[in-house]
Structure 1
Amino acid sequence: MSATPMIQIEDLSKSYGAVQALRGLTMNVGKGEVVCLIGPSGSGKSTLLRCVNHLEAPTGGRILVDGAPVGYREQNGQRRAMNGREFAAMRAQIGMVFQHFYLWPHMTAIENIITGPITVLRRSRADAVDEAHELLAKVGLADKAGAFPEQLSGGQRQRVAIARALAMRPKVMLFDEPTSALDPELVGDVLRAMEQVAAEGMTMIVATHEMGFARKVAKKVVFMDGGRDVEAGDPEQVFTAPKSERLQRFLNQVLA
């Protein structure tokens, strides 16, 4: 494993007016590691992910992905905002899967997947289609290439969204509670697809309420509350021997 973290988050803060969503958060994620963020709603998990992908601009601190700063370039010791092309190139390296699927309703599954590689990465349509078929097979949807989103279940649409993110060949993948909008019986297929992505060595940060997934797949679990990383450790330590009273109370509620 590389000595330099794939994701470096340093003293990150984010405020919305008087509301402080993140408070001086620092975290490293090594290449190929899976970090799961757990915590109550409103604890800052989604805000953290949106800052990593620069969907939200941090108020303070900095984020680096594979050694490069996110959201700006350093030039002669000064920060310079990225231009549109630089933003597109940066975001292509940071895949993100949301609670809701945001698939283009007028496009088939395979068309949803190939649009980014063709328009952003300038790949040929033939190459993009070939890889899209491989990705659909990987997430268990080889027979759904021609289906429109309305013809798919919520779990199938989320797996198409995962394939779409992977088609951009990102360096890291961010998952923002990807199963929270699904019916319980549809959750398992999505988690299995995520497990496979992790097993293939993808660097991942996953905000999740699925404690079983976090315990099984994560290298590190981070408990967040009030915009802070209250406690972090390997899954065994976090789930069986929590150090903070706040984490103990949280686990008592969610594992009851």
Structure 2
Amino acid sequence: MKKSLIAAVLGIGLLVTGILPASAQEHGMSMSADMNMQIAAPQLVKSDMKLMLNGKPLQVDEAYLVDNALFVPYRAFAEGIGLTVGYEAASQTVTVSKEGKEVKLTIGSSKADVDGTPHTMVGPAQLINSTTFVHSRFLAEVFGVKVSYDEATRTVNLVSGEATAKTYYVNIEGFAFKEGDLTVEAGSTIVFTNKDKVKHNAVADNGSFKTNLLGAGESESITLTTPGEYTYFCEPHKNFMKGKITVK
């Protein structure tokens, strides 16, 4: 009776998830292990988020939200951000490396080995539609890639350390943004400095940034990672103090 009940529960679980990989045997996985993996991850939703690396699209065939964390195909994602990848079938271990740093992930496990030090990810490396998927933020940040998310455009912005992040300066003087119209690289920092005796600030029309009101000699910086045009104004003097930043 118990065996029949267990079989019935497993059958229902597989129907609900519907993503039993056809190539599980290629990765040396047993059928029972694969069943357990699928049952343990019911909160899997295909993602429509865009990925941008240093302001340019990073293409992956598909991505999924697993309990609201973005999982991506490890090979396409890792190679896209400049990493070297490998796979060891006997231990079901994925390796990702660059310049002496190595990360090892085991399919079905949330544990990661980073240069011999154990780390815990938000979810396990796992097979989805015959492809190994991993948590995007963990893999990116381990290798020094900064990650931010623009909810308005549903865009994940990645800025690698190889990109030369520059700093630009906008002086506020004579009731004007002196270097107000700028073209900058994604990930660049813009520093606003008030040289007037009255207070000014910088506020984006789309709400993406807003500095504090700056007194004479005070500065504040912002960082823009998403490409596009950002028109902005000074809140106390919005009728005539305006500027534009173009992020490439």
The structure richer in strand per residue is 2
Q: Kindly name which structure, 1 or 2, has the bigger radius of gyration based on alpha carbons.
A: 2
Please give the range of the TM-score, normalised by the shorter of the 2 chains. under 0.3
TM-score (structure 1 length as normaliser):
0.25
